[in-house]
Structure formats: C-alpha cells, structure tokens
C-alpha cells in the first residue's frame, strides 16, 4: 500500500519537476558554450596582444619603426575581423538559446493545456 503511494508520489513529483530539469539543462548548456566562447576569445586576444608587445620591443631604429607601423594596420584588421567573428558567434548562441527556450515553453504549455 505504502509502496504504491510512494511510487505515485515519486512519479507525480518527477512529472512536475521535468520542465525545471529541462530548463536547467538548457541554461547549463548555454553557459558552457558561452564560457568556451569567452575563453577562446581571451586566448586569441591575449596572443594578439603579446605578439604586438613583442613586435614593439623589436623596434630599434627608424626602419624597424616603419615596418612596425605598417604591420599595425594588418594587426588592427585582424583584430577587427576577430571581434566581428566573435560577435557573430555570440549572436548565434543567443538566437539558439532563445529558440530552444521558446520550444521548451511551447512544449510545456502544450503539455499543461488540457486537450
């Protein structure tokens, strides 16, 4: 008797908490992907910055200063492109999260609404 009661309670609780579990998994996946994106960006920007510091430290005369100055435009272009790529990735991640959240909401609404 008690076994059936606990089993029914457990099933009801699991059914009630299922949307929360799905939402938490969705948020965790989004945070994980966002963290990976941010770590990758930090690594890339750090490498670019260190390369520029090294290049600046090698300036010893007017000729090397001219070469360094002309290289700055290429570095700036590369940085700009990297920032645009990261922005695109971030927008894509946000859109995917929004779409998944809308789908989860629609599924939960459909399950909660009596037919």
Q: How confident is the model at residue 75 (pLDDT cuts 50, 70, 90)?
A: very high
Q: How confident is the model at residue 112 (pLDDT cuts 50, 70, 90)?
A: confident
**Tokens encoding 102:** 């809308």
Nearest CA-CA partner of 30 in 81, 99, 88: 99
Residue with tokens 């200063």: 65
Q: How confident is the model at residue 13 (pLDDT cuts 50, 70, 90)?
A: confident
Looking at residue 115, its pLDDT comes to 60
* Range scoring the smallest mean pLDDT among 32-36, 43-47, 66-70, 87-91: 66-70
Q: What is the pTM of this model?
A: 0.76
Q: How confident is the model at residue 111 (pLDDT cuts 50, 70, 90)?
A: confident
Cα maximum dimension of the chain = 92
CA distance 58 to 41: 26
In this model, does residue 106 exceed pLDDT 80? yes
Render pLDDT for 44-69 as a digit per residue (tens, 0 to 9). 999 999 999 999 999 999 999 999 99
Looking at residue 7, its pLDDT comes to 82
């Amino acid at each position: 008797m008690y076994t059936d009661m606990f089993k029914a309670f457990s099933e009801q609780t699991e059914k009630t908490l299922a949307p929360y579990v799905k939402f938490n998994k969705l948020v965790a996946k989004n945070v994980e992907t966002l963290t990976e994106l941010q770590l990758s960006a930090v690594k890339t920007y750090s490498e670019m910055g260190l390369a520029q510091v090294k290049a600046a430290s090698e300036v010893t005369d007017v000729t090397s200063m001219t070469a360094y100055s002309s290289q700055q435009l290429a570095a700036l272009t590369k940085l700009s492109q990297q920032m645009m790529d990261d922005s695109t990735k971030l927008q894509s991640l946000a859109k995917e999260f929004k779409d998944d959240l809308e789908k989860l909401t629609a599924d939960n609404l459909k399950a909660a609404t009596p037919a």
